[in-house]
Amino acid sequence: MSIQYEVEPLADSYGVADSFPKDFGYGEEEADIEDSPTPSDSKPRILLMGLRRSGKSSIQKVVFST
């Protein structure tokens, strides 16, 4: 007496994954819609943040005044 098993190929068990759309992606590249004006001379900009009267203007004078 012999018992026969039906062994399906392993690849068939992943049939669900095969049904996944192949062209799934992030779509077209979209331009940033942030309203950050791009300076034409492309100078780097520094945002100095701090509490009131904490010395921001003084730092600016010391660091950036020529």
Name which position in 53, 63, 64, 65 contacts ligand GTP (CB under 6 A): 53
Task: Give the whole-angstrom CA distance, residue 50 versus residue 7.
Answer: 69
Closer CB to ligand GTP, residue 44 or residue 50? Answer: 50
**Does 50 interact with ligand GTP (rule: CB under 6 A)?**
yes
Exposure of 20 in the CB half-sphere (CA atoms within 13 A): 7
Closest CA to 46 of 32, 64, 33: 64
CB of 48 to ligand GTP, least distance (A): 8
What residues make contact with ligand GTP under the rule CB under 6 A? Answer: 50, 52-58
